[in-house]
Amino acid sequence: MSSGGWAPAPGLRLRAAVLVLAWLYLLCPLAMAQEIPDLRARVTDAAGVLTQADAAGLEARLATLERTKGAQLAILLVKSTAPLDIDAYAGRVFERWKLGRKGVDDGVLVVVATSDRAVRIEVGRGLEGAIPDVTAGRINREQMLPRFRDGDFAGGLAAAVAAIEARIAGEDLPPPERPHGPVPPWWFVILIAAMAGLILPPLLSIFLLIPLSLVDQPLPAKGEAEAAKASRSESDRPRRTSWLFAVNLLLGAAAGYWVLGSVFHLTGLRLGIALAIYLVLGAGALLWIRFLAPEPKAGPAGGAAGTPADTPSSDTSDFGSGSSGTDFSGGGGSSAGGGASDRW
């Protein structure tokens, strides 16, 4: 026994060394694992086997699928998934990208490893009824593998996308959110018209009651000549009032014609209907002002006291643009591990 203190037995040293090597063996694959690219588009070609036109064509088809059915389909091409097999790698990519809508889980991921000559279709739990494992395997073998053997990656992916689209088309999924186009839909025009019916009367009260109050006020008479002039002015008041109504309506129609045509790009029948709605609402508002609005009260000497008009407040809540520097992002879906893998 050594007098310098305790020393580990040779067998204990050997066991400690084996344990350290075992930990290193387990940790090295994690450190060397194939990097998962960020999700920036529906088609990610990290292997560089697609032309720009091929990638753009696939991207457009996948965008159409999401717009019509709501399901998200993404394609990832890498050279290798080593040290992971393609099943484990596809599962990690799916969970990181979160394809499909949250709660619906209608996402599909196609992973192609060109150097490994392997392919996998990973299916979200919400589409396992439409694309079960056996169907995913058949799409691999019948659509992609024969074309991949000939080096036609674009053709194989296009055929697989068509087969997946056909399966999703018959699935009962929640309807997708409809984005607004450049021309406002009819419900939006109707909403604007309804809002105009509420906003125009108080606004026209502000801009028309003041001129009308000046027209309707009797002119001060100073002497008989002034009294006779005031009487003639009083008799002409309805004509001046009608003229003021007509001028305001025509100016508003001209402004509305320019706004609807230049900003909202309405033409033809739609533009005519929109202007007719404006004129009807404007005429109704003017009638409301003429017969139902309270008479303006004269203010004290030295100025006219206007009655404050309530104007609708606009809430400018910022909803955000939803953009984080990427063109495409997952909807929060998850995968149940369903799908199929094959090699060519």
How far apart are alpha carbons 193 and 173 in whole angstroms? 34
Structure-block tokens of residue 67: 């717009």
The helix-helix angle for 223-235 and 237-262 (nearest 10°) equals 50
CATH number of the domain located at residue range(s) 43-179 in this protein? 3.10.310.50
At residue 145, does pLDDT exceed 70? yes
Per-residue pLDDT of 283-338, as tens digits, reads 666 566 555 555 544 444 444 444 444 443 333 333 233 333 347 877 777 776 68
Strand order, beta sheet including 118-124 = 43-45, 72-78, 107-113, 118-124, 335-343
Helix (H) or strand (E) holding 113: strand 107-113
Cβ–Cβ < 8 Å for 36, 96: yes
Domain boundaries, the chain: 43-179, 186-219+237-292
Predicted model pTM: 0.52
The residues, ordered by sequence, that sit 6+ positions from 6 with a Cβ below 8 Å of its Cβ are: none
At residue 146, does pLDDT exceed 90? yes
Block residue for tokens 């696939």 = 58
